[in-house]
Structure 1
Amino acid sequence: MGIMSRIHTGPRQWTDEDDSLPPDSWGRAPSVRRALPWGFVLVVALLVVGRFALAPHLASPALQTWATIFVAICVQALPFLVFGVALSAAITAFVPASFWTRALPRRPAAAVPVAGMAGAVLPGCECASVPVASGLMARGVTPAAALAFLLASPAINPIVLVATAVAFPGQPLMVAARFGASLVVAVLVGWLWLRFGRSDWLRIPSRPHGEGSKLAVFGDAMRHDLLHAGGFLIVGGLAAATLNVLVPREWLTAVAQVPWLAVLVMALLAVLLSICSEADAFVAASMTAFSPTAKLAFLVVGPMVDLKLIALQVGTFGRAFAARFVPLTFVLAVAVSALSGWLLL
């Protein structure tokens, strides 16, 4: 009796004394072909039942509002996310690593404010800043400088400042206060991270090093970042839309009468609403019940800390990073905007 005589399936033992090969079903799972028609019938039945059971709920005003906000956040942010991903991929493919060592000061403490000011020339929102900052770190830029750029870029670029001037006509101090407070927060966060940050808190994503031409490397890097960042943008948009529906409007009117509480509420509202920095000035201007200082807090906090941005940071740099970076940025943004509003507005 050979080794094949010890191989068996179920109660029947197949041996090498059989004059034929094992049947096709030997050692395999039962065929699922018979179950496929019944599975299709079940799916159709569930769709029919769901059509009548869920239709009244899908037509509710709250759900329609939720869907509108979610789609608006994603549609508003997606072009800038694509722009940021394309810019990050271009940095990976076409900009040599030695360029950043020449463009930024060698001393990290001096590189932080320079990187913050560089955000003034990049038209983009917070969704674009995350992949760009990730690309900068991967190319050897000091993380503190890249983080300063991440915070400053969506808040002080020309498009945002022009939008703020249009939303607040005849109030140039609002534009100046937004620019100054946002830049100060970005530089302070960068310096604090440089002083107290630890390398094991920050996960620097690896960049795909494709082979072939620079265009091929550009395409690989762009696909990698777009698929990675796009998923977390959707997660943040879902959370923001849900909280938009759950927060009662009556609460806002009541707290606007308390100055310190109004500043804090507007800061928290900026986190929850997750409005793109190119459009948040118009939303802030429409909240006439709140003071200029509270509106400034909304404009400073929003581009630096919001739900979709937190989701992008968690997915890109890790939870350990976000757990420390987000509270630090939020506290400094609220404090600096309140002080700037008291001095200028």
Structure 2
Amino acid sequence: MSIQKKEDHIQICLDPASQIGSAGWERYRFVHQAMPDVSFAEIDTSCEFLGKPCSIPLMISGMTGGSETAAMINQHIALACETARIPFGVGSMRIALEHPETASSFQVRPYAPNVPILANLGLVQLNYGFGLDECKRAVELLEADALMFHLNPILEAISQDGNTDFTGLMPKLEKIIRHLGVPVLVKEVGFGISAKVAQELRDVGVRTIDVAGWGGTNWAFVEGRRTGNSLGSVFSSWGIPTSDAVRDCSKISGLSVIAGGGMRTGVDMAKAMALGASLSSIAQPALAAALQSPEAVLAVIDRYLGELKTTMFAVGAGTLKALQAASIEVRE
């Protein structure tokens, strides 16, 4: 994986054309409470993630790393997450393990000493020479609270140098879960996780997934544009909308679901929680801000917080637990 590839991804993701489709939140509507019986000033959005207190059920998810631009992005996001008290997951760390000179672009713990930090590797790399030692190195490099494996078969198929052997990964994942020493989470990258796959992940010991569904940054489009591969446009409409993935995967006992993919507003976050999610994740909505400053990223986080609190007020939910029990209707 090259530094130029990382830089290309950043630039393409900044293009509004990379945002394709709908996560499906417009199909759901809360029942408005004209008499909410809560005080807006007392609404509590606090939660816990990976054993640490957070101010809002929002995570800024893995985007990048490996270049000077990526280092700045990660630093700005980490500083903002520390101030806001929310989790941060870095982008794929494969480049840091293969090219140690890039490792510093991922090392955000000094900027975010008190919030959950997640390391990130592609699960398919377990079929290409990576094992427990590499996973431990990624966690140690970041002083991470957990390791997030990402699933990206469509992206790998479109990439010119893609790793497309996804056979036999579940037993290898189970071994990592048993021996790594920190929690192991699994996410998609924008095409969604079905209930069937979520159950299989749960069966080998995964306790938290980010469904990262269709309706946000479209990595078929991104990689297709980068490589000139027409598969990118053909598969830009492929995937499970985030709202459907959240609804279906949240029914699995013992599995915590993060709603990622096309989470554009705090209203989307609230709807995800009402459908069973425990947390939401965003990436591209914070990217342009992260190129500017930590304060710009904080402004994005504050917008989501304000929208979430207003939604909670309008449905009469003073806590996240009450929000999860709020009445929500499907609009066909």
Q: TM-score range by the shorter chain?
A: under 0.3
Query: More helix by proportion, 1 or 2?
Result: 1
Q: TM-score, normalised by structure 2?
A: 0.27
Which structure carries more relative contact order (alpha carbon 8 Å, separation 6+)? 2
Return the index of the structure with the highest Cα Rg: 1
Q: Would you tell me which structure has more strand in proportion to its own residues?
A: 2
Compute the TM-score of the two structures, normalised by the length of structure 1: 0.26
